[in-house]
């Protein structure tokens, strides 16, 4: 297991899991995919898809629809870990209703730096450059 892998608790209706996130893209439309891996006694195993791909709706590259199966727990996890902002609307598709989140790609980078780098590259999203500190103006000698 990767020693630098960020693992955090995920609380849901059946208890608590230790999880990590995997960032990728859906094959159709190259939209943001976030998978959750559980890290238990038997080692890592897929736990859930945080996002779903609904191609009928437009999104910004950092936005995604949240899986409706455990959406309440997923939204709480997103807020608790400050992964993004839940947008003030939902969409209906079939029998499901899906929340939309504008994810903070820099926060997701803490979980999967390689996945975010590949995602940004495929969407031409530049890396945030560290802010340069302004030099203090020196007093003028008179």
> From CA 99, how far away is CA 118, in angstroms rounded?
25
Of the candidates 100, 123, 119, 101, the one whose C-alpha atom is nearest the C-alpha of residue 111 is 119
pLDDT confidence bin for 21, thresholds 50/70/90? very high
pLDDT confidence bin for 47, thresholds 50/70/90? very high
User: For residues 54 and 91, is the Cβ–Cβ distance under 8 A?
Assistant: yes
pLDDT confidence bin for 127, thresholds 50/70/90? confident
pTM for the full predicted model: 0.86
pLDDT confidence bin for 134, thresholds 50/70/90? low
Length of the chain: 142
Q: At 62, phi and psi to the nearest 5? A: -90, 5
**Percent over 70 (pLDDT), the chain:** 88
């Amino acid at each position: 297991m990767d020693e630098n892998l960020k693992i955090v608790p995920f609380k849901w209706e059946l208890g608590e899991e230790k999880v990590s996130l995997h960032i990728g893209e859906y094959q159709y439309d190259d939209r943001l995919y976030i998978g959750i891996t559980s890290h238990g006694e038997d080692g890592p195993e897929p736990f859930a898809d945080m996002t779903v791909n609904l191609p009928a709706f437009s999104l910004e590259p950092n936005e995604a629809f949240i899986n409706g199966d455990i959406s309440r727990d997923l939204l709480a996890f997103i807020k608790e870990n400050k992964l993004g902002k839940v947008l003030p609307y939902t969409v209906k598709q079939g029998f499901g209703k899906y929340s939309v989140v504008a994810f903070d790609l820099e926060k997701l980078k803490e979980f999967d730096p390689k996945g975010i780098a590949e995602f940004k590259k495929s969407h031409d999203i530049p890396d945030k450059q560290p802010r340069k500190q302004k030099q203090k103006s020196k007093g003028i000698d008179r």
